[in-house]
Amino acid sequence: MTPTQDEIATAPKVLLHDHLDGGLRPETVLELAADVGYELPAGDAESLRSWFVDSAYSGSLERYLETFAHTVGIMQTREALTRVAAECAEDLAADGVVYAEVKYAPELHVAGGLNLEEVVEAVEAGFRLGESRAAAAGRPIRVGSLLAAMRQAARSREIAELVVEHRDAGVVGFDIAGAEAGFPPTRHLDAFEFLQRENAHFTIHAGEAFGLPSIWEALQWCGADRLGHGVRIVDDMTVAADGTATLGRLAAYVRDKRVPLELCPSSNIQTGAADSIAEHPFGLLARLRFRVTVNTDNRLMSGTSMSHEFALLTDAFGYDLDDFQWFTVNALKSAFIPFDQRLALINDVVKPGYAALNANRAFAHVRAPSS
């Protein structure tokens, strides 16, 4: 049975890959820009919303990333960062997300005079505010943050240290982001080695705009716990006409070790990593039982939400509630919060949530003949 929009919206969802500076409300971008006299490419919320999606629909990651100048540009004060983070938590909660890991690069938010510590504190304050507003609205959510270093810059070790300093105050891990081609993960090896020595968690954007060497370095040199995108792992497999797949050594390693793939279908179409949702490797990777998770990447630039990504995947691959529960449990198993807390979310929130949806269906089915 195809899940209805209502079911998708109500289903508990877990998000591991969402950029804070890629998920602002257009209204907020306008207001914050007006406060500081920042010039935007559009003057009203609807035009600005379309401008972001159209410009990000560029066929290349580098051009997609150019749009971030206009969100990062207005996220340079404590107030702006706290507001954006609070709204992020509220928007995700309203979409039925119960746990999210949201990432941003602190080094991009120091142009207005804040230091890295102040940036992290302002964002954490926003997440706590958003969580309490969401709880008050009856849609509880927990948000953990991932601090990213920009791969073309040279501050990764410093950002890794910031992660360790703040790991008991809301920060759950580390990542590297930005243009992938020409900036391999090993460029930041010292940061990853530091984090490993500190028993800290990290994911690496790899296999999005560049292929297998990037994934291999992320896993076998840097020790990534998860792959951001990782979608190009399909380059290491061949699929016969009857659907039988043969995996190369790296793809087999990724599947055997249950390496989580933070797949972001809509974003991949905009950057040219896939041609359409129907042709997106998500379907193949899920069929082959890789540890797939569903993610938004950038809700503003990709005009999406978790519910929207679920709906697109259902249309393309016929997924039902059981599949969504599987993707959601996969995400929680791969989250960077402590094991007992992940387990509690799986058993107390996710499974009962899906059970309630299935019970509603059974009830509707029983009632249908007599009504």
Q: Please give the DSSP secondary-structure letter assigned to residue 3.
A: P
Task: Out of 7, 21, 95, 297, point to the residue binding Zn ion (CB under 5 A).
Answer: 297
- In 182-287, where do the E strands start and end? 203-206, 226-229, 237-239, 245-247, 261-263
Stretch that binds ligand NOS, among 6-14, 17-25, 38-46, 212-220 (CB under 6 A): 17-25
Q: Closest CB to Zn ion belongs to which residue?
A: 297
Task: Out of 13, 19, 83, 232, point to the residue binding ligand NOS (CB under 6 A).
Answer: 19
Looking at the DSSP assignment, which residues form a beta bridge with residue 265? none
Does residue 229 contact residue 273 with C-beta atoms inside 8 Å?
A: yes
Q: How far apart are CA 263 and CA 80, in angstroms?
A: 29
CB of 298 to Zn ion, least distance (A): 7
Buried b (16+ CB within 10 A) or exposed e, 20-51: bbbbbbbebbbebbeeeeeebebeeeeebbeb
| Positions at the binding site for Zn(2+) | 17, 19, 205, 297
Rank residues 177 and 200 by Cβ distance to ligand NOS and give the closer one.
Answer: 177
CB of 142 to Zn ion, least distance (A): 20
Nearest to 300 by CA among 55, 116, 42, 113: 55
In the range 106-135, which residues lie near ligand NOS by CB under 6 A? 108
Catalytic residue among 90, 208, 262, 309: 208
Q: Please give the DSSP secondary-structure letter assigned to residue 186.
A: G
By CB under 6 A, how many residues form the interface with ligand NOS?
19
Buried b (16+ CB within 10 A) or exposed e, 74-95: bbbbbebbbbbbbbbbbbbbeb
Q: How far apart are CA 345 and CA 2, in angstroms?
A: 25
* 31 classed as catalytic: no
Tokens for 269, please give them. 């179409």
Helix (H) or strand (E) holding 83: helix 78-94
Rank residues 21 and 95 by Cβ distance to ligand NOS and give the closer one.
Answer: 21
CB of 345 to Zn ion, least distance (A): 23
CB of 258 to ligand NOS, least distance (A): 23
Instruction: Verify binding: residue 342, ligand NOS, rule CB under 6 A.
Output: no
Choose among Zn ion, ligand NOS, none what residue 65 binds, the Cβ cut-off being 5 to 8 Å by kind: ligand NOS
Q: What binding mask, one character per residue, do residues 177-196 give for ligand NOS by CB under 6 A, x or -? A: xx------------------
Q: Within a 10 A sphere around the Cβ of 59, how many other Cβ atoms?
A: 11
CB of 56 to Zn ion, least distance (A): 12
In the range 60-99, which residues lie near ligand NOS by CB under 6 A? 61, 65, 68, 72
Which residues are part of the catalytic machinery?
208
Contact positions vs Zn ion (CB under 5 A)? 297
Contact positions vs ligand NOS (CB under 6 A)? 19, 21-22, 61, 65, 68, 72, 103-105, 108, 148, 177-178, 205, 208, 267, 297-298
